[in-house]
Structures are given as structure tokens and as C-alpha cells.
Structure 1
């Protein structure tokens, strides 16, 4: 692991751990903030209504997910999966915080915009962490190279078989001409 990853991942994770712990400590308040967003999601996606009907449970799940995924990201264990989970929870937090922020004065609107941009920056950071292969090739690269290597080796075997077959046919033809005598 490079020194940048060694430092950057825990730094990125600390904010998510703090927010997750805060969400768990104040699960009732978090549930209140989540309720309007969850209600809208439930009405838009009826199959999600069973999940969105319990804001207190969703608040706890989001809090535990943030703490767990941030811990995994910080320690470098399943960092790509953890980053995707954090991106999802951060997106939900962004929507909820934006909807619940005060916007009655110019200062409130400026603070709301600042928080939105900060949250979007965090989402961008965890998305970058999600595609970071830690210096090792990803599955798509490996699959592509396996396919091209296999194709190249198949062509090489095919060429060698063709040459061998031509030589054998020529040998058979020469033997037949010797036998027939023509």
C-alpha cells in the first residue's frame, strides 16, 4: 500500500465514522429528518415501501453502515465495497441534509450550498476510492488480457497445426506417388 493510500483512506473514513456515530446517538432525530425523504421514496418506488416505512430502523442501518464501511475503508479491508456503501449513505445524507436545511436568509442559503458542495466532494472522494485498485489490475483488465492472451495462443497453435498438417499431407502425397509410381 502506498503512503498516500495509507494516509488518505483513514482521513476520508474519519468523517464518516463521526457522522455514523452521531446518527446512532441521535437515532430518533435522524429518523425525523429521514421521514419525509423516505416517504417520498416509498411513494415513488412502491416495492421499497416496506423498507422506507420504518425511519428509525433506516436511521440505525445508515449509522451502522457508515461506521462499519468507514472502518473497513480506513483499515483497507474491502475498501472498494466499503467506498460504494459510503457513497450510497453519503448520497442519502446529502439529500436529507439539503431538504432539512434552513433557507430563509441569504446566510442560511449560503451555508446550505456550502454543506451540499462539501457532501458532493465527499461522495466524489469515496467514488474515487471505489475505483482504486491499490496498484493491482482490476477484474475487467484481467479478463481482457486473459481473452487476448488466449486468442493469441490459439492463433499460434492453429498456425503450428496448419504447418504440421501441410507437411503431413505433402509426405502422404509423396508416399502415394512413390507407391503408384507416377
Structure 2
């Protein structure tokens, strides 16, 4: 891991860990922000309603997921998976913060805009972290090249087989001619 990754990952994860711990401790406030979104989800997906009934538990689950994935990201354990979870939790938190913030006065609108821009920037940074392969090829690249290699090998085997078939036909024809000459003599 490069020195930049060793420094940047914990720095990026720190805010998520602190925010997640605060959300976990104050799950009633987080649940208040989460309630409108959960009621919309319960109406949209009735099968998920039993899991979404207790908004405090859902808020604690989101906070725990955020803390756990941020810790994994900071330590470099499954960083792409951890960053993907952070993208999801950050997007949810950004949406909820935007909906819950006041926008009555000019200062409140400016604070709401600044908070939204900060959250969108964090989503972007975490998205970059989610696709960082640390200089190694991604699984998709490896799979594509594996398929290409198999196709090339199959073509080579096919060409080799057709050459051997042609050689076998020529050899059989020569032996048949030789046998015919021997028989006629």
C-alpha cells in the first residue's frame, strides 16, 4: 500500500467513524430524521415494513454499518467493499440531512447548501475510494483478459488440429498411392 493510501484512508474514515458513533448514541434524533424516508419505503415496499417499523433500530444499524465499514476502510481490510458501504450510508445521510435542515432564512439556506455540497463531495471521494484498485487490475479486467486468452488458445488448438488433419490426409493419400503401386506391380 502506498504512503498516500496509508494516510488518506484513515483521514477519510475518521469523519465517518465519529459521525457513526454520534448517530448510534443519539439514535432517537437520527430516527427522527429517518422517519419520513422509512415511511415512504414502507409504502413502496410493504414486504420490508416489518424490518423498518422501529426507526431507532434502523438508525442504529446504519450507524453501526458506517462505523464498521469506516474502520475496515481505515485499516485497509476489504477497502473497496467498505468504501461501497460508506457510499451508501453517506448518500442516505446526505439526503436525510438535506431534508431535515431548515431553509427559512438566508443564513439557513446557505448552511443547508454548504452541508449538501460537503456531503456530495464526501460521496464523490468515497466513490473514488470504492473503485481504487491500488494499481492492481480489477476483477472485471482480469475476467475479460482471461476470456480473451481462452479464446486465443482455442483458436490455436483449432488451427493446430486442422493442420494435423490435413497432414494426416496427405499421409494417408501417399500411403494409399504407394499401396496401389505395390499392388499393381
Which interval holds the TM-score relative to the shorter structure?
Answer: over 0.9
Q: Hey, what does 2:97 align to over in structure 1?
A: 97
* Alignment TM-score, normalising by the size of structure 2: 0.94
Q: Hey, what does 1:79 align to over in structure 2?
A: 79
SS at match of 1:23: helix
* Alignment TM-score, normalising by the size of structure 1: 0.95
Give the gaps of 5 or more residues in structure 2: none
| More displaced 10-residue stretch of structure 1: 159-168 or 69-78 | 159-168
Q: Hey, what does 1:151 align to over in structure 2?
A: 151
Q: Hey, what does 1:16 align to over in structure 2?
A: 16
Based on CA coordinates, which of the two structures has the bigger radius of gyration? 2
CA distance in 2, matches of 1:52, 1:46: 10
1:159 deviates by 1.5
- Over residues 75-127 of structure 1, what are the superposed CA-to-partner deviations in whole Å (9 max), with x where a residue is unaligned? 11011111111111111111111111011101101100110111111111111
SS at match of 2:120: helix
SS at match of 2:68: helix
Q: Hey, what does 1:123 align to over in structure 2?
A: 123
Q: Does 1:48 align with 2:60?
A: no
1:52-63, aligned counterparts within 5 Å? Answer: 52-63=52-63
1:154 deviates by 1.3
- Over residues 124-169 of structure 1, what are the superposed CA-to-partner deviations in whole Å (9 max), with x where a residue is unaligned? 1111111111211111111110111111111112212222221111
CA distance in 1, matches of 2:42, 2:118: 27
The aligned length equals: 182
SS at match of 2:130: helix
